[in-house]
Homo-oligomer: A and B are copies of this chain.
């Protein structure tokens, strides 16, 4: 796993409580729209320079310039729809390589001691799953040495080196994961994810203009938000931040780099994702997430015998179809059952065809499927200690005439499947009923 050798390196540590500090170690990550052209890369460099000038140790992780990854992926598909993942990696990883070199050049021009590094040079080790690799180890000491030289390491995100000594990529959006993994490996005080939004909101502001930016959110809540449809961060990067307790900050790269408060170590503008211990006044509900384009599939009157669920969901898993909300109703006579579940709409036809093909083995009367469903989710750590949260949701939706088709819950979230046409209404209703509209 990540070798946190960086954490042991002798250095002045941040003293919390806003009283006094000498130096912090910060990993800054910038996404594709933030580095879309040289003018924007120059703006990114000003954000970096601000932190360097404040005396912090800084490493930067960059994505490919907006549109470049799509261009490269397009070429690999044009070359062959069924292309080799190793070659896909060699082609697609070049996008981040280019950005890292360009940002290093701009930083040097601004007088910042900077140098670009690729995954194979540090190295950032991954497993051999080319095209969707997982980081297996980063020896933080390489980067800690760079800090010691006063160098800003500008690191190509989204990639590493696999056991076969070839470039590997982490899958789309993997630069968030690169940044968090590097922050863990060097024991960073904070990992700043600069993006095109200025933080994590109580819900999507395009649907609910009264949505508020959260000052803080716990790892667990953020993980649910990301998993359930909020696109601000990759799920894997949140998992990694949670495991390694990396204080992760979501903020905007389009903010003026030298505006007041931008360099504040404790409370810069944005949303801090942190351990729940750091969140003093926890709300019962933190946010409302949603995901469209769900399809619901129902198998009617399935023989209710041991192993029938495995008989249905095993083959779907093998076909890489991601089954989500599962509801099982016992039929009246007790010998048959209705099995209902959701899959991504794009996989619905494939799932139905697959189930029809194994109908003799499973045994069911009919198969139904409805597309255009949406999943709306209520998320909040406070639910653990508050009863009645789910009942509030059901009552509010019912009053608005929103029909609930399925429900799943966990300790800190309630997910409700509804007809897609009601998505905005349901989001606004839930946002209001839990008091998220108010400051």
Interface residues of A (CB under 8 A from B): 38, 41, 72, 75-76, 78-80, 82-84, 86-91, 94, 97-98, 100-102, 104-106, 108-109, 115-116, 118, 120-121, 165-166
Could you list 21 A-B pairs, sorted by A, with CB under 8 Å?
A38-B79, A75-B98, A75-B102, A79-B102, A79-B109, A80-B105, A80-B108, A82-B109, A84-B104, A84-B108, A87-B102, A90-B97, A90-B100, A90-B101, A90-B116, A91-B98, A91-B102, A91-B105, A94-B97, A94-B98, A120-B120
Return chain B residues, CB-CB under 8 Å to A87.
Answer: 101-102, 104-105, 108, 115-116
Give the contacting residue for A108; candidates B78, B83, B98, B166; CB below 8 A: B83
- Cβ A83 vs Cβ B98 within 8 A: no
Determine how close the nearest CB of chain B comes to the CB of A378; give it in whole angstroms: 45
- Cβ B86 vs Cβ A115 within 8 A: yes
Return chain B residues, CB-CB under 8 Å to A41.
Answer: 79
- Cβ B121 vs Cβ A105 within 8 A: no
Return chain B residues, CB-CB under 8 Å to A84.
Answer: 104-105, 108
Determine how close the nearest CB of chain B comes to the CB of A244; give it in whole angstroms: 28
Return chain B residues, CB-CB under 8 Å to A76.
Answer: 101-102, 105
Determine how close the nearest CB of chain B comes to the CB of A37; give it in whole angstroms: 9
Q: Provided the pairs A115-B86, A166-B121 are in contact, do residues A91 and B101 lie with their beta carbons within 8 angstroms?
A: yes
Closest 9 CB pairs between A and B?
Answer: A91-B101, A90-B101, A94-B94, A80-B109, A79-B105, A87-B101, A83-B105, A38-B78, A87-B104
